[in-house]
Structure 1
């Protein structure tokens, strides 16, 4: 009988089925673990994983949230529907706040004037000069062009303040010793910009064109062109497109924007007040004219959206194509995505045509471990 047990398929070597399990998505992992007692005892439950677990090595997005008092971060891996706390023990993180992200780099603010970059994977910090004494950290929307490490000599950081139209722009290039503020207010131009206002949403920095896209609160598009190789050269604003209908404007609850690298321009995700209906549009410049087209399919891509950063990725796992991952949870620990085919929100054990009873953590951002 012992010989039979040794040959039984349930006695597969632990390292082999751990390797298999590291390639499975949440529901598949649970089913795999439930095959037999041996497998269940050998594989940890999803919530027992640490950041050094096998699936943390997979190049897949995760949602990050910083606890300001402790400086620790909470990570959510959507493919495994797993949350974990990572103890950082880094003094600079206590009292800090995440402002935006590019790949696995976070732009952070601390206090009234402090700004720095932080990589939660490598735990590297790159300090920036303090903001100007005349300007406290009141800028709600930020972006930067690329990773700020030593291999990136042309990383621009751009912040926006929406008091006035067009917005004021705060800039620095990594390596410069001082921030530059560009204020565009001009009495002679006031009538021209009347009605072109902006609400805080995630700006989209297109590194290929060295421009920043910013969506207006009425559906118009602002384009900030970065001129030259220094922040002292004043960037220029352009405004394009017609306003959305009044009915559409008042129905919008949330807006997310992401660069559409393959097709050019940006994708704009509108979420309505009533039931959280999702509507996607592509905004793309055709010469001097803004073209808008409704997007009904992401094909083999997955869209990850949050207020500090949004991005489009080739499908990271089978079954997640043509889906949108929101920074939302069902029952506090089950990640939520939206299916563009079924027009429903889904989590591991939940589906609904509306976003009622979903929880959205404050200041959570998607990052892409590289």
Structure 2
């Protein structure tokens, strides 16, 4: 009898445990999540990026309401278009498809070189002057003179940052380069020569991006040089350039390229008149460029001088390449949809390597648009 009672007791305990497991299932968990105070939910959801925020909003109605209220998206860059004559510069907002104009006589005789954190980096070829300029506050910061003949110059951060360093590279011959750097406040540029183990040829078509303490430089022929600002070392990676598409001349292939950085990753978009754009991502560990079949929700803003990647844009801008060309009386950028594998609008000149490289540039918009109205 005692054995039977113990058996019945064990079955009763197992039944209770099973009921507890059932009662603590998804419905119970969702109920507990819904009971969290709004203030606590805001603290939990505020740091999330767009993708995780959208996932969190699917938990329950209360989470959806709070997630929507704290949802953040990247600010879309504006396209700054230089005038052929005069001092009136247009700033095109692709989100609103709206253009703002600013009179900037301070830029007369200047050539745009780079854009970073809402600042422009410019040079005056006749006087060899290099300077930073904020088009929204009209603030100007002078830099030491520099002769920019067949190369471009880039920067790591805004000139107001302690981490700002300027960089340019010029080949003496394919196996020897001169790297020049300076910081705001310096009296002169510092130039150091480095020998290459692999060929590197600089030109105005060289692409430069800064990521995690290093400048990445894509040469005319596709070799990638890296300058480490921490130890001052230059090297050309043994990463073979992406292969040129069959039946297309290498010259056209290499000119129509754009490079950008996002979250430590390096991306390159290659274009040519005869084929649709091809997107690559650098796998530095495996020393190879990997072709991407998708932008994974990101948006690539392509420009000869300074390209950008955004991962947290809303709506139809995701999975697109935005080129620095505006059509239909300033109403629409030329774009390439990765999802649909086509340009919008159709029948556009796709040979971006033949465009004027200094005609436009993508730049971060002002914090408050009303300040420029």
Deviation at 1:212, TM superposition (A): 0.9
> Does the 8 Å CA contact 1:344/1:352 hold for their aligned counterparts?
no
Q: How big is each residue's C-alpha offset from its partner over 1:316-370, in whole Å with a ceiling of 9 and x where there is no partner?
A: 3311110110012334533111100111111xxx335873899956521001124
Q: 1:113 to 1:169 in 2, by over 3 A?
A: same
TM-score by length of 1: 0.69
Q: Which residue among 92, 103, 128 is the counterpart of 1:113?
A: 128
Q: Within 2, Cα distance between the matches of 1:177 and 1:354?
A: 44
Q: In structure 2, which of residues 236, 240, 243 is the aligned counterpart of residue 242 of structure 1?
A: 240
Q: Write out per-residue CA displacement over residues 200-245 of structure 1, whole angstroms, 9 at most, x where no aligned residue.
A: 2320111x2x1111123343322111245xxxxx532232212444
Residues 243, 297 of structure 1: CA spacing in aligned structure 2 closer, same or farther, 3 A cutoff?
Answer: closer
- Per-residue deviation at 1:246? 5.5
- Residues 170 and 71 of structure 1: CA distance in aligned 2, closer, same or farther (over 3 Å): farther
1:50 aligns with: none
For the residues of structure 2 that align with 1:142 and 1:254, how far apart are their CA atoms? 19
Taking the TM superposition and a 5 Å limit, the aligned residue runs for 1:129-278 are 129-131=144-146, 136-149=147-160, 152-165=161-174, 166-184=176-194, 192-193=197-198, 195-199=199-203, 200-206=205-211, 208=212, 210-228=213-231, 234-245=232-243, 247=245, 250=250, 252=253, 253-261=255-263, 264-275=264-275, 277-278=276-277
- Structure 1: how far apart are the matches of 2:127 and 2:235? 27
CA distance in 2, matches of 1:358, 1:221: 19
Q: Which has the higher helix share?
A: 2
2:165–2:182 CA contact under 8 A, matched in 1: yes
**87 and 153 in structure 1: CA distance in 2 versus 1, 3 angstrom threshold:** same
Partners of 2:90 and 2:101 within 8 A in 1: yes
- Counterpart check, 1:285 vs 2:284: yes
Work out whether residues 206 and 220 of structure 2, in 8 Å CA contact, stay in contact via their aligned partners in 1: no
Instruction: Describe the superposition over 1:132-154 as per-residue Cα deviations: whole angstroms up to 9, x where unpaired.
Output: xxxx33142221011111xx112
Deviations 1:115-138, CA, capped at 9 Å, x for gaps: 11011122211111223xxxx331
Q: Residue 47 of structure 1 aligns with which residue? A: none
State the structure with more CA Rg.
2
Contact 1:327 1:361 in 2 (8 A): no
Deviation string, structure 1 residues 258-313 (Cα, Å, up to 9, x no partner) = 1131xx331010002324x1000101311xx4132111222222111101111111
Superposition CA RMSD, Å = 2.8
TM-score of the superposition, structure 2-length normalised? 0.68
Residue 20 (structure 1) aligns with:
none
Secondary structure, counterpart of 1:338 in structure 2: strand
| Alignment match of 2:342 (pick from 341, 344, 353) | 344
* Alpha-carbon distance in 2 for matches of 1:357, 1:216: 17
For 2:114 and 2:351, locate their aligned partners in 1 and report how far apart those are by CA, in whole Å: 27
Structure 2 residue aligned with 1:97:
111
Extract unaligned runs of 5+ from structure 2.
1-73, 368-373
Cα distance in 2 between the residues matched to 1:71 and 1:140: 25
Cα 1:246–1:258 change in 2 (3 A) is closer
Q: Structure 1 residue 65 and structure 2 residue 81: aligned?
A: yes
Q: Secondary structure at the match of 1:167?
A: strand
Distance in 2, Cα, partners of 1:296 & 1:235: 34
